[in-house]
């Protein structure tokens, strides 16, 4: 099994397209007003937006984008006007993360984990 794509709910696909392009994703499908799909600069998983009538009442989706040079990327995005809730910081799970919200309040985490992404010290081994 392989993960193909992740789709999140947004109230304005058109507004969100601009946000995610500015974040660094490449638009590959634009089916306004209800749908858009992006490629990430690395990897094979795609990311899409699906229009909903109103924002989620819950926290919304949490989406993690891995970035090798995290601090440089956050600095670049901050200079472009992105507002981060949390600047890059080391986490107890051995990842370095920065956090921001998209226009629909979905939580975005830009992070770098290196080998700890899939192989943290507490990983279950064997079967």
Domain boundaries, the chain: 5-117
Assess whether pLDDT exceeds 60 at residue 19: yes
Plot region of 13 (φ>0 → left; ψ -120 to 50 → alpha; else → beta) = alpha
Q: Topology of domain 5-117, per CATH?
A: 2,3-Dihydroxybiphenyl 1,2-Dioxygenase; domain 1 (3.10.180)
What is the share, in percent, of the chain residues with pLDDT greater than 70? 98
What is the share, in percent, of the chain residues with pLDDT greater than 90? 83
Point out the least confidently predicted range of 1-10, 52-61, 92-101. 52-61
Terminal CA-CA length for the chain: 18
Edge-to-edge strands, sheet with 107-112:
62-66, 107-112, 96-101, 84-90
Query: Mean pLDDT, the chain, as a whole number?
Result: 93
pLDDT tens per residue, range 97-120: 999 999 999 999 999 999 999 999
């Amino acid at each position: 099994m392989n993960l193909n794509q992740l789709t999140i709910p947004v109230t304005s696909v058109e507004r969100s397209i601009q946000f995610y392009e500015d974040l660094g994703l490449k638009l590959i499908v634009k089916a306004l007003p209800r749908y858009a799909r992006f490629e990430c600069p690395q990897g094979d998983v795609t990311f899409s937006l699906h229009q909903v009538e109103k924002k989620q009442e819950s926290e919304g989706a949490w989406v993690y984008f891995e970035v090798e040079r995290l601090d440089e990327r956050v600095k670049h995005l901050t200079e472009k006007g992105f507002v981060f809730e949390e600047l890059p910081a080391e986490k107890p799970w051995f990842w370095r993360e920065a956090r921001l919200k998209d226009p629909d309040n979905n939580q975005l985490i830009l992070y770098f984990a290196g080998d700890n992404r899939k192989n943290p010290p507490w990983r279950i081994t064997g079967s």
